[in-house]
Structure 1
Amino acid sequence: MAGSTTKTVFDIFQSMESGPAAASSPTTAQAWLEHHSRSLGFFIDEKFVLPADRRSRSLNDGKGGVVCSVACAEEADISQCAASSVSGFKAWSGLSCERRAKVLLKLVSLLGQHTQCVSELCELCDASASPSALVRLLQYYSGWAQLRDTLITGWTPLGVVEVVTSDDCSLYSLMLKVLPALAMGNSVIVVPGWSCGPPALLLAHLFTGAGLPAGALNVLTGCDMTLGAKVAQNPNVSYVTYSGNKQDGVTLCESTAGMGVPVSVSPYIGATCPFIIFESADIDSAVEEVIEAAFKKRKEVNWVLCVQESVYDSVVARLRLRMSGLKCVALLRESDSSLVEAAVQEAQQQGATLVQSSAAPPSRTHYPPTVLCGAAPSSPCVVSPSPGPLLPLMTFRSNSEAVTLGNHSPHGQAASIWTEDLTLALETAKSLSVGSVWVNSHSVFDPCLPVSGHKDSGTCTDGGQEGLYQYLRPSSSTPSLPRSSPASLDYSAFGTETPAPIIPVDLDSAPQSLLQLVGGKTCKSVSGCSMAVRPQEGTATLGYCPYGGRKDVRNAVEAAIKVQPGWMKKTPSVRAQSLYSLAKALEAKMRVVAGSNCIQTSISVEEANAEVDLSVARLNLWAAYCDKVQGGSLPMPKSGSALSFPEALGVVGVILPDKHPLLSMATLLGAAIATGNAVILVPSEKYPLPVLSFIQVLQASDLPAGLVNVITGSRDQLAAAFANHSVIKAVWYWGSAEGCQYLQKTCTRPLKTLKLSCQTEEDWTQSDPALLEELWRNAVQWKSVWIPTA
Structure 2
Amino acid sequence: MANSTSKTVYDIFQSMEYGAYSPSTAATARAWLERHSYSLGFFMDGKFVCPVDRQTHTVTDSTGGTVCSVICAKDEDISSCGSSASAGFKTWSELSGHRRAKVLLRLASTLQRYTQCVSELCDLCQSPCSLPALIRLTQYYAGWAQLQDTLMPEWIPRGVVAVVVSDDCSFHSIWLKVLPALAMGNAVIMVPGVKLAPPTLLLAQLFMETALPAGVLSVVTGDTSVGARVAKNNQISYLTYSGSQQDGEVLAKQTAGWGLTISLCLSVSAECPFIIFESADIDSAVDGVIEAAFKKKKDWQWVLCVQESVLDSVVSRLKLRITGLKCVPLGSESDRTLVDVAVQDALQQGATLIQSCSPPASGALYPPTVLCGLAPPSSAAVSPPPGPLLPLLSFRSAAEGVALGNRTPHGQAASIWTEDLNLALETAKSLCVGSVWVNSHSVMDPSLPQCGRRDSGNCTDGGKEGLYQFLRPSPSPALPRSTPTSLDYAAFGTTASGFMVPEGFDPSSVTCSCSQYVGGKLCKADSGCSRTVQAPGGAVLAHCPDGGRKDVRNAVEAALKVQPGWLRKSPAARALSLYSLSDHLEKRRREMAASIQAQTGLSMEEADKEVELSISRLSDWAARCDKQSGGMPPLPQTGSALSAPEALGVVGVVLPDAKPLLSLVSLLGAAVSMGNAVILVPSEKYPLPAIDFIQVLQASDIPAGVVSVITGRRNQLTQALANHSEIQAIWYWGSLEGCQFLQHTCSSPLKRLWLHCEEVEGNDGGKYWSHSSPSLQEEMWREAVVWKSVWIPTA
CA 1:614–1:501 in 2, change beyond 3 Å: closer, same or farther?
A: closer
2:494 is the alignment partner of 1:496: yes
What is residue 784 of structure 2 aligned with on the other side?
779
Q: Which residue of 2 aligns with 1:711?
A: 710
Amino acid at match of 1:158: R
Q: Using the alignment, how far apart are the partners of 1:540 and 1:30 within structure 2? A: 79
Distance 2:686 2:770 in 1: 18
Secondary structure of residue in 1 paired with 2:338: helix
Deviates more, 1:388-397 or 1:493-502: 493-502
**Counterpart residue number, 1:170:** 170
Q: Secondary structure at the match of 2:573?
A: helix
Aligned-partner Cα distance in 1 for 2:565–2:310: 32
Q: C-alpha displacement at 1:505, in angstroms?
A: 7.3
1:266–1:458 Cα contact (<8 Å) kept: yes
Aligned positions, number: 787
Residues 409-428 of structure 1: per-residue CA shift (max 9 Å, x gap): 00000000000111110110
- Alignment check: 8 A CA contact 1:241 1:263 kept: yes
Question: By how many angstroms is 1:564 displaced?
Answer: 0.8
Instruction: Go from structure 1 to structure 2 and tell me whether the alpha carbon gap of 1:71 and 1:507 turns closer, same or farther (over 3 Å shift).
Output: closer
Hey, what does 2:474 align to over in structure 1? 475
C-alpha separation in 1, matches of 2:689 and 2:675: 24
SS at match of 2:632: strand
Could you say which residue in structure 1 is the equivalent of 2:52? 52
Residue 662 of structure 1 aligns to which amino acid in structure 2? L
Deviation at 1:677, TM superposition (A): 0.6
Question: Residue type of the partner of 2:762?
Answer: T
Give the unaligned 5+ runs of structure 1.
none
Contact persistence 1:325–1:359 (CA under 8 A): no
Look up the match of 1:390. 389
Residues 418-466 of structure 1 deviation map (CA, whole Å, 9 limit, x = unaligned): 0011111011001100000000000001111100011111111100001
SS at match of 2:540: coil
% identical aligned pairs:
64
Following the alignment from structure 1 to structure 2, what is the Cα–Cα distance between the partners of residues 380 and 317?
25
Identify which range, 751-760 or 507-516, moves more after superposition: 507-516
Structure 1 residue ranges, 4+ long, deviating more than 6 angstroms after superposition: 501-505
- For the Cα contact (< 8 Å) 1:326–1:359, is it kept in 2? no
Alignment of 1:385-534 (within 5 A): 385-479=384-478, 481-499=479-497, 508-534=508-534
CA separation in 2, counterparts of 1:61 and 1:746? Answer: 39
User: What's the offset of the Cα at 1:478?
Assistant: 2.2
Of 294-303 and 407-416, deviating more is 294-303
C-alpha deviations, 1:626-662, integer Å up to 9, x for none?
Answer: 1111011011111110110000111000000001100
Alpha carbons 2:231, 2:260 under 8 Å: kept: yes
Give the drift of 1:507.
5.4
Partner of 1:12: 12
In structure 1, the partner of 2:613 is: 614
SS at match of 1:634: coil
Change (3 A) 1:358 1:69: closer
Q: Which amino acid aligns with 2:425?
A: L
- Residue 374 of structure 1 corresponds to 373
- Could you give the per-residue CA deviations for residues 714-772 of structure 1, whole angstroms, max 9, x where no partner exists? 10111111111110000000000000000011101111111111122342111210111
CA deviation after TM superposition for structure 1 residue 607, in Å: 1.6
Q: How does 1:56-75 map to 2 (within 5 A)?
A: 56-75=56-75
Displacement of 1:342 in angstroms is 1.3
Which segment is superposed worse, 14-23 or 722-731? Answer: 14-23
Shift of 1:506: 5.0
Structure 2 equivalent of residue 677 of structure 1: 676
Displacement, 1:32? 0.8
Give the deviation of 1:525 after TM superposition: 0.9
Aligned to 2:38: 38
| 1:598/1:605 contact within 8 Å kept | yes
1:745 aligns with 2:737: no
Q: Secondary structure in 2 aligned to 1:584?
A: helix
Secondary structure of the structure 2 residue equivalent to 1:62:
coil
SS at match of 2:626: coil
Secondary structure, in 3 states, of the residue corresponding to 1:22?
A: coil
> Any idea what SS the aligned residue of 1:657 has?
coil
Give secondary structure in 2 for the equivalent of 1:548: coil
Alpha-carbon distance in 2 for matches of 1:269, 1:747: 19
Instruction: Tell me the CA shift for residue 5 of structure 1.
Output: 4.3
Partner Cα separation in structure 2 for residue 500 and residue 83 of structure 1: 44
Question: Residues 510 and 502 of structure 1: is their aligned pair in 2 closer, same or farther, counting only changes over 3 Å?
Answer: farther
Question: Could you give the per-residue CA deviations for residues 517-561 of structure 1, whole angstroms, max 9, x where no partner exists?
Answer: 11000001111111111113x722212111111111110000001
* Preserved CA contact (<8 Å) 2:326 2:356: yes
Any idea what SS the aligned residue of 1:268 has? Answer: coil
Q: In the alignment, residue 703 of structure 1 is paired with which amino acid?
A: I
| Aligned counterpart, 2:691 | 692
1:783 partner SS: strand
- Structure 1: how far apart are the matches of 2:144 and 2:753? 27
What do the CA deviations read for 1:333-391 (whole angstroms, capped 9, x no partner)? 12222221211111122222222213553743221211111212211112111122111
Contact 2:304 2:390 in 1 (8 A): yes
Secondary structure at the aligned position of 1:354 is classed as strand
Match of 1:139 in 2: 139
1:304 CA displacement: 0.5
Corresponding position of 2:731: 732
The amino acid of 2:204's aligned partner reads A
The residue that corresponds to 1:765 in the other structure is 770
> Is it true that 1:788 corresponds to 2:793 in the alignment?
yes
Cα 1:551–1:642, aligned 2, differ >3 Å: closer, same or farther? same
Shift of 1:4: 5.6
Task: Map 1:647-666 to 2 at 5 A.
Answer: 647-666=646-665
Alpha-carbon shift at residue 327 of structure 1 (Å): 1.5
| Equivalences for residues 166-565 of structure 1 within 5 A | 166-224=166-224, 226-359=225-358, 361=360, 363-479=362-478, 481-499=479-497, 508-536=508-536, 539-565=538-564
2:269–2:386: 8 Å Cα contact kept in structure 1? no
CA distance, structure 1, for counterparts of residue 717 and residue 445 of structure 2: 41
Counterparts of 1:287 and 1:691 in 2: how far apart (Å)? Answer: 57
What's the secondary structure of 1:325's corresponding residue? coil
Asked if the contact 2:510–2:541 (Cα under 8 Å) also holds between the matched residues in 1, the reply is no
Is the CA contact (8 Å cut-off) linking 2:96 and 2:149 kept in structure 1?
no
**Native 8 Å contact 1:680 1:711 kept in 2:** yes
Q: 1:579/1:66 Cα in 2 relative to 1: closer, same or farther (>3 Å)?
A: same
Distance in 2 between residues matched to 1:23 and 1:63, nearest whole Å: 12
Give SS of 1:442's match. Answer: coil
- Cα offset, 1:239, TM superposition: 0.8
Q: Which runs of 5+ in 2 are unaligned?
A: none
Aligned-residue offset at 1:299 = 1.6
The 2-side partners of 1:84 and 1:619 are apart by: 45
Contact conserved, 1:499 with 1:529, CA < 8 A, in 2?
no
Q: Distance in 2 between matches of 1:786 and 1:2?
A: 41
Normalised by the length of structure 2, the TM-score is 0.97
Which secondary structure does the structure 1 equivalent of 2:221 belong to?
A: coil
Paired residue for 1:118?
Answer: 118
Would you say the 8 A contact 1:161–1:238 is kept in 2?
yes
Q: Within 2, Cα distance between the matches of 1:99 and 1:3? A: 59
Query: Equivalent residues in 2 for 1:566-645 (5 A)?
Result: 566-645=565-644
Structure 1 residues 458 and 167, CA, compared in 2 at 3 Å: closer, same or farther?
same
1:498 Cα shift?
A: 2.3
Confirm or deny: 8 A CA contact 1:328 1:359 kept in the other structure: no
Q: CA shift at 1:508, angstroms?
A: 4.3
Q: State which drifts further: 73-82 or 429-438.
A: 73-82
Moved more, 241-250 or 743-752: 241-250
Distance 2:508 2:116 in 1: 88
Give the Cα–Cα distance (whole angstroms) in 1 for the partners of residues 597 and 551 of structure 2: 28
Is the Cα–Cα contact under 8 Å of residues 57 and 194 in structure 2 kept in the other structure? Answer: no
* Cα RMSD, aligned residues only: 1.7
Q: Which moved more, 1:52-61 or 1:305-314?
A: 52-61
1:595-648: CA deviation from partner (whole Å, max 9, x where unpaired):
221111111222221111110000000111111110110111111101100001
Q: Structure 2 CA distance, aligned partners of 1:322 and 1:69?
A: 41
Counterpart Cα distance in 2 of 1:246 and 1:123:
25
Tell me how far apart the structure 1 counterparts of residues 173 and 412 of structure 2 sit (CA, whole Å): 14
Distance 1:32 1:777 in 2: 44
